[in-house]
A and B are shown apart, each in its own frame.
Chain A
Amino acid sequence: MTVRSKEYHRPEDWARAHQLLNRSEVHTVPLVVSPRPAALTDLEADAFVDLQKLQLDAIHKSGDNRIHLGGMATLQAVYESDLLKAEADGILSEAAHISATLGIRNLATVAGALTAPSSPPDVALALMALDALVTLQKDEGRTRTLPLHEFIAAGDKALQRGEVLVEVSFASAPSFGSLARVGRTPRDHAIVAAAAVVEVSNGAVRRAGVALAGANPLPVRLLDVEKLLSGKTASAALLDQAAALAEKQAVPQGDYRGSVEYRRAMAAVLVRRALAAALKHAGLA
């Protein structure tokens, strides 16, 4: 018996990458860094596939006015992207920035932020509020695309074995957004956090995206709240209703940073605060 070193591969193309990742005899995973990185010795796999050659790091806008983020785009690139700063008050840039410090942002990727359920939720929240879709690839030509909130809801079962998160995209639109969070210190992994994005027309909310973390076992998108807001003009009463809905749906798990009671209360406070700020930016409040 000896210590066997784990394999490292850096495929030149997708064909090879999938061939490696889909092996059943060797447990093989892509190298993906989350904003809360795992120790290398804790990575449970026998082989690693480094995707750096596969050009999966672009951030661009397509002809159909959607913004696309490659799965391997770093959080620093997300933070610095002018394209993203222009969307919904730069909520995604802000989320990328707050979820990790500089050195980690240079390594952590969009895929890392979305596939590690224990990582800071900010990027996932912002993207859910932006109504993002996520694309997963099991093989060349074998991809599936689903709403990000469904992907997040599936937790650690979201990715099938061998699957790679290759892209997230959302529709570019004139919109306003805000991220509200509470932590022990300003940059702390949020105890509870909420993201809100609103599009408005004729003085009313045309579409709202609202997402919440820390008040449920996994980050959630609050579709009920979004429905409630849609078509409405802003008012204190409306915000109260939205906050109440957020609180009602919460099923927190308490810990030393926040009890069940506290997290439930913060669900209301922060959803309200994020929405109020987004509406204020939109000129509706």
Chain B
Amino acid sequence: MNIRFKLNGKETELQVKQDESLLEALRQAGAYSVKHGCETGECGACSVLLDGKLVPTCILLAPQADGHEIETVEGLSEVNTIHPIQKAFTENGAIQCGYCTPAMILATKALLNKEKYPTLEDAREALSSTICRCTGYVKPVEAILRAAAMLRGEEVAPIGGGGIPLELAFGLTGESDLGRDIPDVKSGGGGGTSVSVRPTVKVAPWVSPEAHTDVVGRPEIKVDAVKLVKGKPAFTDDINLPGMLYAAMLTSPHAHARIRNIDVSKARAFPGVHAVLTYKDVPRVMYASGGQSWPNPKPWDQVSLDSKVRYVGDRVAVLAAETPEIAREALKLIEVDYEVLPAVLDPREAGKPGAPVIHDEPDAIGIPDAQRNLVNTIDAAVGDVEKTLAECDYVFERTYYTPKQQQVHIEPHVCITYWDEDERLVVRTSTQVPFHVRRMLSPLIGLPVKRIRVIKPRIGGGFGGKQEMLIEDLAAHLTLATNRPVRFEYTREQEFTSARSRHPMYITFKAGVMKDGVLRALDMKVISDTGAFGQHSMTVASVSGLRGLSTYRCEALRFHAEIYYTNKTPAGAFRGYGAPQGMFGLESIVDEIAHELGFDPLEFRRKNAVRVGDPIPISTALGEGGAIEQVVLSCGLEECFDKAAAAIQWERRYDPKWHVDPERPHIRRGLGVATCMHGTAIPGLDMGGASVKMNDDGSFNVLVGATDLGTGSDTVIAQIVAETLGCALEDVIIYSSDTDMTPFDVGAYASSTTFISGGSAKKAAEEVRRQIMERAALMLKTTTEGMYLRNRHVYTADGRAVSLQDVALHSLHTEDQRQIMATASHMSNYAPPPFGAQFVEVEVDMETGMVRVPRMVMAVDCGTAINPVTASGQIEGGQLQALGMAISESVMYDQQGKVLTTRIGEYRIFEADEAPDIMAILVPTYEPSGPYGAKAVAEIPMDGVGPAVANAVFDATGVRVRELPILPEKVWKGLKELK
């Protein structure tokens, strides 16, 4: 049927199916800013203004819009113009992955249309139906207030920030830019209201000083912000290829079953279906789906399609059809005869005699004890734990549990595969690991690496969920079978049943401590639940040990992990990668010890925490990249504690009056703290490459393999290059993650991008700088001695200057012609730890057990924050994600292994109007091994919130909850037991 409506002011007529969603119809019509994130109206990504009201379009039928007026962000601005709301969002750093951004912009518009002077509450309410998994809503809410001021015609303050102050700006790699003009060095300041950048010197003694920076350390607007805020077709699914087919996947309804027979004849015969594939149709090649360096860690226990299913949601068959509706209908015609097998869901049961054997296939590679469902064990030790424990005045032992948190990036897994004109397979996919995907895909589909090109467009969030080759193989098989482009996207339900999650773990700590509060020994045991497949399981468990045993000085450390298969959705990589599990155990037991021995929990931590110069011995024992000694070179932990404690008003903990509320007698208040320490990249393993090329006008193309998954890494890398080459950020055109076009990079994980990929970009830029100086010397008939680059010019020691443009023109066209360009790669044997202090305030309902968190503060030492706005954005958003795991988030199963939490609402992610007040404080230090002193920042905010909430609940109530998430009933039970 045809529908007529006004789209962004223009009369529009569309031909639609009567039962298709308005979301599909709008995207078909080219309104790609309207995004798909779920099917149930709960994520808000698909929202538009319908007659001025914000509504999700995935739950509306297209014909319902007939006769109405629809606005999308495409209507807000033209090429070269930008709407004030969009401007406010870019300036304020309110955009991370940008997938929720169009909906947020529209929500803002609807609000500001009726309210010129919105309050903070109004802003939060306006965003309440747009789930954002990246920002924690802090900067978007600020952006709304900024936009309102702009629309009222008020002057708004520029987002401040002044580069790295001189005291901090110390050089790396012996290169230095001494001799540059040094402007006001005290102009440091933050972007956004809750960012603070204070110049404080923390340098290892052997580093030599470098000058003030122009681009690095400043809150530059993200390089991709404008396209995202305008809703440009930048994501994987924002294209429509001629002849494209739609894939759909049949999944297992049983937790464990053998497929006796599968009959796809009816589905194949269904008009519009072009291919149906089962285990009978694709080669059986064993692999591990985790996107990790070659050779992928064992076990290799998966095949693209199998004759056995091991969890509800496991792959059974996949097909490609001309429309999504045909694909869905055809799935129903596949007949499967299952022999249902007994299932095991608890990792503590999985190793017991008589438990069903999940991997009984003979061809799996590298499962140490498949009969016991044992995927792996890990052991590591430093010193003599038994002996030291025996010497300690007190020994504490406790067990903790962390849940199966799901990544819930708002953009589901999606990929499009097609043959290009050279008959090479192009895989356009939302991935964090394009280069790993290319290599891992090759054997599964029988094409050499050189015939595969993987392109990563913008990603709508990953958080580790896309450090996985999850669906690319199936789409590729379908393209091979049909020779047509194939689009494959998960539904939200499939994200919960058939994607990945955090590994749930049981963590037991035994701690030996002396009367004076000195920790001497930590013995940590982990039982990890990897679900039906083992990808990432060994490295995640290893990181839980690494992080659980690094933070405090101890003479004896021991780690033992056992990883078991269960008949549940496989776990995988998730921001933090084992650290939130280990840190929940560590920071809980440390709190318990402090309480039992009568120490202030903060003082106890200060007393025992590592400091500059300390070795991290457990990393040598556990390192993924081989045994490499790690030492703490920079550490701002003390200052993190100071600043965050002041911000949360830690002294209130000792005021009995503060803990109660006379107005609400059933409420008790409490404060909790946790120390955070993370890693930066995998030492000796992670590698990234970058190329920098100079253009005629003195601008630069930068090609990097690094994968910006919304964190802003493209911006950070471009800032590093601009700083090194003395140009503005806008002179750097960055292109990332395309296996044909860019150098190799392991991908976006392990908090490595700024440090590793940024390091490679810095090296390449330094080489280009050397070439530029040589050319300038040639032009000015002088030497490069004392030369420096700044303000788009090369300056000589004697004060003469030549512009970068002239250098480029000279080199490309005039004399001794050559291309100024360089490629470099970077790997580091050091993994400098960022540090953090996490504080939370809670209110506990003593009758229901419900925990509310009004406020969270985290101070982080991430070395130099190359971009303080993107860095603080990581810390804000990470805290809210971590709060989800603390309070509500866990994929739940029934006794048959069926997932109960298949909707965003049921799974429960914090919405804008219930999220706490979140604060991020940056404590700058200078990390000598990082580019411009940078360390990682992306994952550390996941580490402290869980234990800090549990510790605050204890402070409020005396109840110690050792199991996340802290659902009301758990506290209620604890309160009953106290009585």
The minimal Cβ–Cβ distance linking A17 to chain B, given in whole angstroms, is 15
Pairwise interchain contact A106-B39, C-beta atoms closer than 8 A:
no
Pairwise interchain contact A3-B18, C-beta atoms closer than 8 A:
no
Pairwise interchain contact B39-A102, C-beta atoms closer than 8 A:
no
The minimal Cβ–Cβ distance linking B418 to chain A, given in whole angstroms, is 24
Chain A residues whose C-beta falls within 8 Å of the C-beta of B44 in the assembled complex: 101, 103
Pairwise interchain contact B850-A103, C-beta atoms closer than 8 A:
no
Pairwise interchain contact A40-B900, C-beta atoms closer than 8 A:
no
Pairwise interchain contact B325-A262, C-beta atoms closer than 8 A:
no
Given known A37-B40, A38-B40, A104-B129, contact A186–B852 (CB-CB < 8 A): yes
Pairwise interchain contact A50-B47, C-beta atoms closer than 8 A:
no
Chain B residues whose C-beta falls within 8 Å of the C-beta of A201 in the assembled complex: none
Of chain A, the residue at the smallest CB distance from B55 is: A106
The minimal Cβ–Cβ distance linking B303 to chain A, given in whole angstroms, is 29
Chain A residues whose C-beta falls within 8 Å of the C-beta of B323 in the assembled complex: 3
Looking at A6-14, A83-91, A134-142, the stretch in contact with chain B turns out to be: A6-14
Pairwise interchain contact A262-B969, C-beta atoms closer than 8 A:
yes
Looking at B73-81, B573-581, B903-911, the stretch in contact with chain A turns out to be: B903-911
The minimal Cβ–Cβ distance linking A53 to chain B, given in whole angstroms, is 10
Pairwise interchain contact B64-A52, C-beta atoms closer than 8 A:
yes
Pairwise interchain contact B40-A39, C-beta atoms closer than 8 A:
yes
Give the residues from 188 to 203 in chain A that come closer than 8 angstroms, CB to CB, to chain B.
Answer: 188-189, 191
Of chain A, the residue at the smallest CB distance from B493 is: A39
Considering residues A37, A76, A187, A266, which has the most beta carbons from chain B within 10 angstroms of its beta carbon?
A37
Looking at A160-168, A230-238, A251-259, the stretch in contact with chain B turns out to be: A251-259
Chain A residues whose C-beta falls within 8 Å of the C-beta of B56 in the assembled complex: 37, 103-104, 107
Query: Quick one: CB contact mask for B879-908 with A, threshold 8 Å, 1 for yes?
Result: 000000001101010000000100101101
Of chain A, the residue at the smallest CB distance from B845 is: A182
Q: Is A151 an interface residue (CB 8 A)?
A: no
Given known A2-B271, A107-B41, A184-B888, contact A37–B59 (CB-CB < 8 A): yes
Q: Is A244 an interface residue (CB 8 A)?
A: no
Q: How far is the CA of A259 from the CA of B58 in the complex (A)?
A: 34
Chain B residues whose C-beta falls within 8 Å of the C-beta of A37 in the assembled complex: 40-42, 56, 59
The minimal Cβ–Cβ distance linking B496 to chain A, given in whole angstroms, is 13
Given known A5-B17, A37-B40, A184-B887, contact A102–B54 (CB-CB < 8 A): yes
Pairwise interchain contact A8-B47, C-beta atoms closer than 8 A:
no
Pairwise interchain contact A101-B911, C-beta atoms closer than 8 A:
yes
Q: Is A69 an interface residue (CB 8 A)?
A: no
Given known A103-B41, A183-B850, A185-B888, contact A39–B59 (CB-CB < 8 A): yes
The answer, among B61, B892, B910, for a CB contact under 8 Å with A8, is B61
Q: How far is the CA of A76 from the CA of B54 in the complex (A)?
A: 11
Q: How far is the CA of A39 from the CA of B910 in the complex (A)?
A: 21
The answer, among A101, A107, A258, for a CB contact under 8 Å with B59, is A107
Chain A residues whose C-beta falls within 8 Å of the C-beta of B326 in the assembled complex: 3
The minimal Cβ–Cβ distance linking B890 to chain A, given in whole angstroms, is 8
Query: Quick one: CB contact mask for B1-37 with A, threshold 8 Å, 1 for yes?
Result: 1000000000000000111110000000000000000
The minimal Cβ–Cβ distance linking A193 to chain B, given in whole angstroms, is 11
Q: How far is the CA of A252 from the CA of B900 in the complex (A)?
A: 18
Pairwise interchain contact B55-A1, C-beta atoms closer than 8 A:
no
The minimal Cβ–Cβ distance linking B114 to chain A, given in whole angstroms, is 11
The answer, among B47, B272, B905, B972, for a CB contact under 8 Å with A265, is B972
The minimal Cβ–Cβ distance linking B963 to chain A, given in whole angstroms, is 13
The answer, among A10, A191, A257, for a CB contact under 8 Å with B63, is A10
Q: Is B847 an interface residue (CB 8 A)?
A: yes
Q: Is A269 an interface residue (CB 8 A)?
A: yes
Q: Is B863 an interface residue (CB 8 A)?
A: no
Pairwise interchain contact A256-B905, C-beta atoms closer than 8 A:
no
Q: How far is the CA of A1 from the CA of B900 in the complex (A)?
A: 34
The answer, among B42, B60, B329, for a CB contact under 8 Å with A3, is B329
Q: Is A48 an interface residue (CB 8 A)?
A: yes
The minimal Cβ–Cβ distance linking A111 to chain B, given in whole angstroms, is 15
Q: Is A36 an interface residue (CB 8 A)?
A: yes
Q: How far is the CA of A103 from the CA of B45 in the complex (A)?
A: 10
The answer, among B58, B63, B888, B968, for a CB contact under 8 Å with A182, is B968
Given known A103-B41, A258-B969, A269-B848, contact A33–B59 (CB-CB < 8 A): yes
Q: Is B270 an interface residue (CB 8 A)?
A: yes
The minimal Cβ–Cβ distance linking B433 to chain A, given in whole angstroms, is 31
Q: How far is the CA of A259 from the CA of B967 in the complex (A)?
A: 11
**Count: A-B pairs, CB below 8 Å:** 146
Chain B residues whose C-beta falls within 8 Å of the C-beta of A50 in the assembled complex: 61, 63-64
Q: Is B731 an interface residue (CB 8 A)?
A: no
Given known A6-B18, A106-B53, A269-B848, contact A40–B129 (CB-CB < 8 A): no
Q: Is A31 an interface residue (CB 8 A)?
A: yes
Pairwise interchain contact A41-B58, C-beta atoms closer than 8 A:
no
Pairwise interchain contact A8-B54, C-beta atoms closer than 8 A:
no
Q: Is B70 an interface residue (CB 8 A)?
A: no
Count of chain A residues with Cβ under 8 Å from any Cβ of B?
Answer: 47
Considering residues A33, A101, A255, which has the most beta carbons from chain B within 10 angstroms of its beta carbon?
A101
Q: Is the interface of A mostly helix, strand, loop or mixed?
A: loop
Chain A residues whose C-beta falls within 8 Å of the C-beta of B847 in the assembled complex: 269, 273
Q: Is B913 an interface residue (CB 8 A)?
A: yes
Chain A residues whose C-beta falls within 8 Å of the C-beta of B903 in the assembled complex: 36
Q: Is A270 an interface residue (CB 8 A)?
A: yes
Pairwise interchain contact B129-A107, C-beta atoms closer than 8 A:
no
Given known A40-B19, A101-B44, A101-B128, contact A107–B852 (CB-CB < 8 A): no
Q: How far is the CA of A1 from the CA of B325 in the complex (A)?
A: 13
Considering residues B272, B323, B847, B973, which has the most beta carbons from chain A within 10 angstroms of its beta carbon?
B847
The minimal Cβ–Cβ distance linking B758 to chain A, given in whole angstroms, is 36
Pairwise interchain contact A31-B64, C-beta atoms closer than 8 A:
yes
Pairwise interchain contact B911-A48, C-beta atoms closer than 8 A:
no
The minimal Cβ–Cβ distance linking A47 to chain B, given in whole angstroms, is 9
Give the residues from 66 to 99 in chain A that come closer than 8 angstroms, CB to CB, to chain B.
Answer: 76
Pairwise interchain contact B328-A8, C-beta atoms closer than 8 A:
no
The minimal Cβ–Cβ distance linking A51 to chain B, given in whole angstroms, is 11
Pairwise interchain contact A101-B19, C-beta atoms closer than 8 A:
no
Chain B residues whose C-beta falls within 8 Å of the C-beta of A10 in the assembled complex: 63-64, 66
Q: How far is the CA of A186 from the CA of B125 in the complex (A)?
A: 13
Q: How far is the CA of A48 from the CA of B850 in the complex (A)?
A: 41
Give the residues from 32 to 60 in chain A that come closer than 8 angstroms, CB to CB, to chain B.
Answer: 33, 36-41, 48, 50, 52
Pairwise interchain contact B272-A2, C-beta atoms closer than 8 A:
yes
Pairwise interchain contact A102-B126, C-beta atoms closer than 8 A:
yes
Pairwise interchain contact B55-A262, C-beta atoms closer than 8 A:
no
Q: Is B107 an interface residue (CB 8 A)?
A: yes
Pairwise interchain contact B63-A102, C-beta atoms closer than 8 A:
no
Considering residues B19, B53, B906, B967, which has the most beta carbons from chain A within 10 angstroms of its beta carbon?
B19
Query: Quick one: CB contact mask for A18-35 with B, threshold 8 Å, 1 for yes?
Result: 000000000000010100
Pairwise interchain contact B54-A5, C-beta atoms closer than 8 A:
no
Chain B residues whose C-beta falls within 8 Å of the C-beta of A183 in the assembled complex: 850, 968
Query: Quick one: CB contact mask for B251-287 with A, threshold 8 Å, 1 for yes?
Result: 0000000000000000000111000000000000000
Q: Is B914 an interface residue (CB 8 A)?
A: yes
Of chain A, the residue at the smallest CB distance from B890 is: A256
Q: Is B217 an interface residue (CB 8 A)?
A: no
Q: How far is the CA of A105 from the CA of B42 in the complex (A)?
A: 11
Q: How far is the CA of A36 from the CA of B902 in the complex (A)?
A: 13
Give the residues from 123 to 142 in chain B that come closer than 8 angstroms, CB to CB, to chain A.
Answer: 125-126, 128-130
Pairwise interchain contact B908-A185, C-beta atoms closer than 8 A:
yes
Of chain B, the residue at the smallest CB distance from A266 is: B848
Q: Is B965 an interface residue (CB 8 A)?
A: yes
Query: Quick one: CB contact mask for B899-936 with A, threshold 8 Å, 1 for yes?
Result: 01001011010110110000000000000000000000
Give the residues from 116 to 173 in chain B that come closer than 8 angstroms, CB to CB, to chain A.
Answer: 125-126, 128-130
Q: How far is the CA of A48 from the CA of B64 in the complex (A)?
A: 10
Of chain B, the residue at the smallest CB distance from A105 is: B129
In the complex, given contacts A3-B329, A185-B908, A185-B914, what are 17 additional A-B residue pairs having Cβ atoms less than 8 angstroms apart?
A: A31-B61, A36-B905, A37-B41, A39-B40, A50-B64, A101-B44, A101-B128, A103-B44, A104-B41, A184-B850, A191-B968, A255-B900, A256-B890, A259-B969, A265-B972, A270-B848, A273-B666
Query: Can you spell out 9 A-B residue pairs with CB atoms less than 8 angstroms apart?
Result: A5-B19, A7-B18, A31-B61, A101-B128, A102-B125, A103-B44, A182-B850, A256-B890, A258-B967
